[in-house]
Copies of this chain bind each other. A is one copy, B any other.
Amino acid sequence: MFGCASAAIFMQFEARGVSFSVNFCSHCGSAELCWTVPPGDNRPRHVCSACKTVFYANPKIVAGCIPQWNDTVLLCKRAIEPRHGYWTLPAGFMEKAETTIEAAVRETLEEANARVEVVDLYTVFNIPHTSQVYMMFRAKLTDLDFSPGAESLECGLYREDQIPWGELAFPTILHTLKFYFEDRKRGDFPLRSGDIVGDRNRAIFALRRRAVIP
């Protein structure tokens, strides 16, 4: 038997930027949810006191593309929160039963109605404070027949000197584009990986943050 820190724990879950409180066990319907270390585990989880179901929460993958056309890349202006009105590369949450490339291609189609041929994986950025891992792929636009999807206000092709550097939606997008244009000058695109550390307003890029091992 494991103890319960509090009879009524209101857990905040976030999905697609919308957070909601978790008040009931989704298996048996009990309101007796605990935040406790389950038997045989080494860290606290949400556990139902009534039926003992353990609820695991894990990081999510955000997959996207750097859709290239000559010396430009395709950017989208966000029509949704978070960061409505700011610019991004097409990217979004990977869905079940997909591969990372399929997710990146699908997001590019959904957000910009654009078709791409993926070249290779280019960036892997961890964002531990939001429990996300960004995986961005270099890709070539197969044609110029693109247009804003439901989640975009507009989209267009931007050279390095035309990128709205001060109006990018997320630090991951900023650092992906910075690496991309740097590497393009050299004609070599090694895998770029790193950690985005800090909160949304003061995010710092680090090749590897100081490891936090419990």
Is residue A70 within 8 Å, beta carbon to beta carbon, of the partner chain?
A: no
A159: shortest Cβ distance to chain B, in Å?
28
Beyond A15-B55, A58-B95, A97-B131, is A29–B27 a contact (Cβ under 8 Å)? Answer: no
For the complex, is A5 an interface residue (Cβ under 8 Å from B)?
no
CA distance A126 to B94 in the complex (A): 11
Residue of B nearest to A211 (CB): B102
Residues of chain B contacted by A43 (CB below 8 angstroms): 95
**Contact assessment for B31 and A29 in the assembled complex, using a CB-CB cutoff below 8 Å:** yes
- Flag the segment in A82-90, A105-113, A160-168, A172-180 that touches B: A105-113
A128 touching B56 in the complex, CB below 8 Å, given contacts A23-B27, A61-B133: no
* Copies, count: 2
B58 touches A213 (CB 8 A): no
A188 to chain B, nearest CB (A): 13
A186 contacts partner chain B, Cβ-Cβ < 8 Å: no
**Chain B residue with Cβ nearest A31:** B29
Q: Known contacts A15-B55, A56-B15; decide if A23 and B23 are in contact (CB<8 Å).
A: no
- Interface residues in chain A, defined as those with a beta carbon under 8 Å from any beta carbon in chain B: 13, 15-16, 18, 20-29, 31, 40, 42-43, 53-61, 93-102, 105-106, 109-110, 120-121, 124, 126, 128-129, 131, 133, 135, 150, 191, 193, 195, 208-209, 211-214
